[in-house]
Structure 1
C-alpha cells in the first residue's frame, strides 16, 4: 500500500512538472537515519545503507532502479579521491612508492590467492572462482576513506599505508579487466596488437592528464581568479574533477584514479585550498548518495533464495581476506594493533567489484544469477564493516603506553607540586623556576614525559587522582599545589581529593570552561582560571587597539568584560547548580570575587591599556 501511494504521488508530481519527491525522500532518509545511527554509535555509513534499504525497491519501493543512482553517486567517490590527491604532493607520493607497489601488490596478491580457494571449495571452476575472489579483493575506497576521515587517521602513518594500498587496488582494476577479457570463452583470440593498443591508450590518457595538469590547470585558475567570480571557480573545480575522471574512463582506467591524479597535479597550486572548499560540499552529498544507492541495490529476494551460499561466501571471503591482510601487514613491519585494525577496516569487498563482475558476466565467465549472488555478498560485507569496526574498538584492549625512560614519582619533596605538564603547565612553571622555587612535576602521559626530558625538564610519572601518588609526590609537604591537567573532570577530582586530605595546602587549578570553574570552586579550589580566558581578553584588547579604540576606553571595556563574566559565574554558582550550604561555605572561606575578577592584577590605567593591547 505504501509503495502504491508513493508511486501515485510521484506520478501526480510528474504530471505537474519536475518530480521532486525522489530528491526529498533521499535527503529526508539521510537526515533521519545518519544522525540516529551515529547517536547509537553505529556510524554514518551503516545509517546510509539502512536508509537506502528502507526506501529502495525492497523496502517502501520509492526507487525502482538503484543502479541509476549508483552511477551518479559514484561521483562522490571520484571527488573524495580528488580531495585526497590535493593532500598528496608529488614528492610525498613518490616517497610512498614502496608502500604502493610493495605493500599494495603483496596484499592484493595474497588476498587473490586465498579468496580464489573459496570458489574452488564450493565446487566452482577455477576461472569463475578466481574472478569472484579477485573482485572481493578490491576494498571499498568509499567506506575505508570515510572511516579514516571520521577517525582522523588519514594523515597518520597507518592511514597513509592504507591509502597506498587503496591506490594500488584502484590501479589493479585495469589489468584485472584485461585479464577477464583474456580468460573469457574465446578471450584468448584477442590479438597481441589489440592488447598493446589498450595499454597504449591507458598510458596515453595518463600522460595527457599529467601534461594538462602541469601546463594548463594552474594558468587557467589564475585567469579565472582575476575574474573574481566565485561561481565560475566552483564550476572550474567541478570541470577539472569530472574532466579528469572522464579522460581516465576513455582510456579504460578508473575514474577515481583520474580524479586522484588531477588532485595530485594541483596539490602544489596556490588554488589548492580554494578547490578543496569548492568540491567538499558536492563530495559529501554524493558520497552519502553512493551509500544510499548501495543500500537500495541490496536484493533481498536474492539473499532469501540463496542465503546459505551468500552467508558462506561472506564469512569465507571476509575471514580469509582478514587473515591475508593481517599476515602481509605483519610481514611488512606493522605492529599487532595496526595490522589487526587494517584487516578489520579492509575486510569488505568494494564498489569496483561490481564493475569486474559485470564485465565477467558480459563475456560469459559468470552467469546472471552468480553475478547477483556475488553482488549481494559484496553489499552484505560492506554493511557488516561498521559493525566489525565497532566490535574491534570495544573488544580490543586500549594500547598501553611504553614506560621506557619514565621514572615513577617517589619520595619527592618541593615547595610546589605541579600535576600535569602539558602546554598549560609548561608555561606556568617558567616564572616559578625563574624565581628559584623548587617544583616537583608529575604527569600521566609517558610520551609527554620523554618529550619534556629532551628540553631539560625532570618530570615523574604519576596519576594525580590517586592518594598514594600524591603522598609519594610530596603533596603533604608542599606549600602550594598546581593542578594543570588538560581534562576538566580530572581536575575537579584531583582538587577534591587534595582538599579532603591536605586541607591546609592551597590549590591553584586550571579550568576548561565556566562550568568547570564553578565545579572547582565548589570542591574548594583556592584559585581557578580558565585556560583561554586571559589570552582571549588580551586578543580582544589587541583587536580594540587595531580598531583605534582609545587606551583608557580599552581598559574600561576589558574591565567590564571581567565584571560581567564574574557575575555570570556567580549566577552559575547560585542558580541551583549547588546547594546554599555549599555556596555559603565557599563564600565564607574563599575570596570569591578577587579570585574571579582579579585573575591578573589590575594595573594603572595606562599600564592596563598597554597590557590589554
Structure 2
C-alpha cells in the first residue's frame, strides 16, 4: 500500500505541474494520474476498491465546504440572482439535458439525475478564471457566482435522487423518493436544531484552549460525525457533512474551519478523481471519440445559450449574459460523483459512464479558453455595460455600485482597488479642486456634502450595494452615517476611524465594519519590526492575533489618548 501511495502522489504531482503550466484544471491532472496507474495505463494499482472507499471521503469534505460557503448573508445579498436566475438555469438546463437523455434511450428518472448533474458547472475552475481576470466582484462575477451558489444547493437533492435510484431493484421510485425526502427533512431539522445549540458552544470551548490541533480535530469530528449519523439514517454521509457546514456558516468559526478542512478536502477529493481515472477505459473511449467531441460541443453550446438567454430575461446586460453564459458552459466536478454513483448503482452501463466521464473531463479542459471566446463575442455583438466606475452625466441611475464618501488618500486607494476588480463606484468630496482633478481622469466623482440625504440620493443610494465612509472628520463621518441609517437602514456601511474610541462610536451608529487607523498602523509597524529582528513569521502572526483579541476587549476610550 505504501508503494501505491507513493506512485499516486508522484504521478499526480507530475501531471498537475504539467497541466498548471498549460493553465488547465488540476482535476484533469488527477484523472490523468489515475489513467496512467490504472488498467488502461501501467496497471500498477491492485487495490482499486480500497482506494475508492477512502476517496469517498473527498466528496464528504467537499460538501462540508460547500455548506460553509452558503452563509445566510451571502444568499440574502444575491437572493434575486440565486433563487431567480440560478434556479431557472438549473431547472431549464437539467430538463433539456434530461429530454436528450430520454431520446438517447435512458429511463426518465436516470435521465433526470444525469441531466441535473450535467447542469452543474465547475465552481473551482470558474472562480479561478474570474480571479485571474479581475472580475470576481464585477457584474459578470456576481451573476456567475449567484448561479454557482444555487448549483451548490442543488447538490443535495441530486444526492438524494441518486441514493434513491440506486436502491433495491423493483422498488417504487416515487415512494422511495418520498421516504428519502422525509428522512432528509428530519435530518435537516435535527442537525440544524442540535447544531445551533451545541456546535457553537463546543467550538468556543475548544477555541478558548488556543490549541489549533484541538480545533482541527474537533472540526474533523464534526464533519465525520454528522456524516456517520446521516449514514445510520439511510442517507448519504455527504448530506450530513453539508448540513454541518451550513450550521457553522453562521458562526464566527466559519473561516477557521474552512482553512483547517481545505487540505483534507483537497487531498481526499484529489484521491476521488484519481479513483475515477483508474476506471477509465481508453479503448472504450477511443471507439466513441467522435460522440465525445460532439457531446462536449453540444453541452457547452446548450448550457451557454440557456444561461445567457435566462440572464438576459432576468435583466442582465448583454455583455454580462454572454460572458456568464460561456463561463457556465462546462460540466462540473460533481458530475463525476453522479456518474460514478449511477454506474455503481447499475443505473447506466459502463460504456455510458465512460462516455459521460470523458465528456465532463474534456469540457472542463476547454473552459480556460471560453473567456477569450466571450471577449470576441462581446466585442462583436455587445459593448461593455459596466466600466470600473459608474458612468456619469447620463440619464441612467447607477445600480449595484459602491458609494465612496471622501476622496482623499484613503478614498482614492479604496477606489483603485474597486476599479481593479471592476466594481462600479461613485465618489463624493467637499474639495472642489480634488473633484475636478479626478473628473478629468474619467472617474465619476461629485462635489457635495455626504451628510445630506438628497445628495446621497443623487449618488444612487437607493440602488447601491454598500457605502464606504473614509472621511477624516469624526463629526462629518457621524453625520454621514446618520444620513444613511435614517433613509437607507439596510445599506451595508464600512468606515475608517481615527482610533478605537471613534470606531466604537461609529459601530454604535450602525456601521457594519470599522478600521481604526492608530490600532491597525501600530500592528503593521510592530509586525515589520519584529520580523526584521528575526522573530519567526508564525510567532508574529500568533502575537498579532492574540493582541487583536485581548486588546479589543479593553476600554475603547483609552485609545483616544494615543
TM-score normalised by length of structure 2: 0.61
- Report the equivalent of 2:61: 79
* 1:242 and 1:259 in contact (8 A); partners too: yes
Once the two structures are TM-superposed, the CA of residue 303 in structure 1 deviates from its matched residue by 0.5
Q: Any idea what the Cα deviations from partners look like across 1:112-142, whole Å, max 9, x if unmatched?
A: 2322343455566766655543442244455
- CA 1:364–1:288 in 2, change beyond 3 Å: closer, same or farther? closer
Q: Distance in 1 between the 2:528 and 2:53 partners?
A: 56
- Report the equivalent of 1:451: 427
Q: Distance in 1 between the 2:529 and 2:334 partners?
A: 56
Q: Any idea what the Cα deviations from partners look like across 1:560-593, whole Å, max 9, x if unmatched?
A: xxxxxxxxxxxxxxxxxxxxxxxxxxxxxxxxxx
- Report the equivalent of 2:391: 404
* 2:332 and 2:360 in contact (8 A); partners too: yes
- Report the equivalent of 2:39: 57
Show structure 1 runs of 5+ residues with no match.
1-18, 408-420, 428-442, 464-534, 548-556, 558-612
| 1:202 aligns with one of 176, 184, 188 | 184
- CA 1:218–1:360 in 2, change beyond 3 Å: closer, same or farther? closer
Q: Any idea what the Cα deviations from partners look like across 1:148-203, whole Å, max 9, x if unmatched?
A: 67778777633540332222321331564478479x98554x684x5543322111
Q: Distance in 1 between the 2:25 and 2:225 partners?
A: 32
- Report the equivalent of 1:169: 154
TM-score normalised by length of structure 1: 0.57
Q: Distance in 2 between the 1:97 and 1:74 partners?
A: 32
Once the two structures are TM-superposed, the CA of residue 244 in structure 1 deviates from its matched residue by 2.8
- Report the equivalent of 2:271: 289
- CA 1:251–1:98 in 2, change beyond 3 Å: closer, same or farther? farther
Q: CA RMSD in A?
A: 4.6
- Report the equivalent of 1:326: 308
- Report the equivalent of 1:561: none
Q: Report the secondary structure of 1:298's partner residue.
A: coil
Once the two structures are TM-superposed, the CA of residue 309 in structure 1 deviates from its matched residue by 2.9
* 1:140 and 1:351 in contact (8 A); partners too: yes
- CA 1:61–1:343 in 2, change beyond 3 Å: closer, same or farther? farther
Q: Distance in 2 between the 1:364 and 1:337 partners?
A: 43
* 1:170 and 1:254 in contact (8 A); partners too: no
Q: Distance in 2 between the 1:206 and 1:316 partners?
A: 37
* 1:444 and 1:462 in contact (8 A); partners too: no
Q: Report the secondary structure of 1:451's partner residue.
A: strand
* 1:181 and 1:187 in contact (8 A); partners too: no
- CA 1:318–1:360 in 2, change beyond 3 Å: closer, same or farther? same
Once the two structures are TM-superposed, the CA of residue 335 in structure 1 deviates from its matched residue by 2.8
Show structure 2 runs of 5+ residues with no match.
395-406, 414-418, 443-517, 534-561
- Report the equivalent of 2:489: none
- CA 1:198–1:51 in 2, change beyond 3 Å: closer, same or farther? closer
Q: Any idea what the Cα deviations from partners look like across 1:202-226, whole Å, max 9, x if unmatched?
A: 1111112102211111222233334
- Report the equivalent of 2:537: none
- CA 1:70–1:313 in 2, change beyond 3 Å: closer, same or farther? farther
The number of equivalent residue pairs is: 427
- CA 1:258–1:362 in 2, change beyond 3 Å: closer, same or farther? closer
- CA 1:302–1:142 in 2, change beyond 3 Å: closer, same or farther? farther
Q: 5 Å matches for 1:103-252?
A: 103-119=85-101, 122=104, 129-130=111-112, 132-140=114-122, 143-144=125-126, 157-158=142-143, 160-174=145-159, 176-177=161-162, 180=165, 186-188=170-172, 192=175, 195-251=177-233
1:31 aligns with 2:13: yes
Q: Distance in 1 between the 2:357 and 2:59 partners?
A: 18
Larger Rg: 1
* 2:160 and 2:180 in contact (8 A); partners too: no
- Report the equivalent of 1:383: 365
Q: Distance in 2 between the 1:131 and 1:288 partners?
A: 24
Q: Distance in 1 between the 2:51 and 2:368 partners?
A: 22
Q: Distance in 1 between the 2:367 and 2:144 partners?
A: 17
